[in-house]
Amino acid sequence: MFDYFYNEIFRSVIIGFGSLFNGIEIHHKDENDSTFSVIKVPLAYGPTQKFLARLKQNPDLNAPVQMTLPRMSFEFTNLAYDSSRKSTQTQTVVYTNPDGTETKKGYLPVPYNMTITLSIYTKLNDDMLQIIEQIVPYFQPGYTLPIKFLGNLNEVINVPVQLDNIDMSDDYEGNFDTRRALIYTITFTAKTYVFGPLKDVSSDIIKKVTVGYVAGSTSGNSYQRDVTYQVTPRAVKDYDGVVATLLAENVDMVETVIDVDDGTKIPEKSYIYIGQEEMYVENVTGNRLSVKRAQDKSPLQNHLLGEKVYTITQADNAQIEVGDNFGFDGNLF
């Protein structure tokens, strides 16, 4: 029933998550407020219990070799379907790599929430506070992490990473020689999308067909007739680089009403282009646009506040590239 495929979605999110915390440092200062020591906090993937066991195996403060603190670790702990971001199951999208040499088609990705825990271990309370203050200001309560999915197709998805909870514990038992470990555990939720299998897309366009029809009765007599399809090229992306306005909000993959800085620059019943996604503007109310997403097989994407919004006009139609698989309207004769 199922064919093999592997898009490395979860692996990409885990790697991207870890990259957020691989530059944290601790500075130690003397009585003159001069920095005499800078420690880059090491980060590793693994469960909290593994590092606690390492600490407890040799807790003697006078031992010549022991696990160095501070230290951080993170672990992927849970996966859950997110029905609030559910989209149409049967809608397909097309992904093309930047040089146009590879094009794939598949169904819309499925929304899933990944729970990832970050554990921080320190011996000194001030070390812990320095680390925490370098993390929490970026999560209000979420931080948008752009991650490249689908290999050569370079599909970039903005994955919101939300800070859910912070647990604190002071692991200190035994006599005065026992080593102390402060442990903070921060729980995050990464709202990602899981892509299914992708198939190759043919770029052939049918311009002329032959059909059979019954003339005047249901006698079963059929004839052959050439049908000519006359087309008017229409651009499906921006070519002239003229910015109409900017996005006034972050836009995820399911939103169909978006806010812009100046809605007067966007005509109704027209096409706009944001990132690599083409949209059709059905209605404009003030600075709010009601749109149809991912038009003409353009990739469905997340978009960020302040991103440029282009209108697709006759000027763009005149600059369609030779060989471009453009959208078109036309009539049968």
String of DSSP letters for 190-212: EEEEE----EE-------EEEEE
pLDDT digits (tens, 9 = 90+) for 176-198: 555 567 889 999 999 998 888 88
Gyration radius from the chain CA atoms: 28
Domain ranges of the chain: 9-200, 232-319
C-alpha count within 13 angstroms, C-beta hemisphere, residue 274: 32
Average pLDDT along the chain, 333 residues, taken 10 residues at a time: 81 91 90 89 79 56 56 92 80 65 76 94 90 92 85 78 90 56 91 85 48 50 52 78 92 92 93 93 94 91 92 81 48 43
Look up the pTM and report it: 0.55
Question: Are the C-beta atoms of 39 and 70 separated by less than 8 Å?
Answer: yes
CA-nearest of 82, 47, 123 to 252 is: 82
CA-nearest of 109, 126, 104, 113 to 37 is: 126
pLDDT at 332: 44
**Under DSSP, is residue 152 helix (H, G, I), strand (E, B) or coil?**
helix
Structure tokens at 162: 């939300």
The CATH number of the domain covering residues in 232-319: 2.40.33
Which residues pair with residue 62 across a beta bridge? Answer: none
Query: Does domain 9-200 match CATH 3.30.2000.40?
Result: yes
pLDDT at 107: 78
pLDDT digits (tens, 9 = 90+) for 195-251: 888 877 654 444 444 455 554 444 455 455 555 555 567 888 888 888 999 999 999
Structure tokens at 97: 């790599």
CA 258 → CA 10, 263, 277, 284, 332, distances in Å?
A: 29, 10, 14, 10, 36
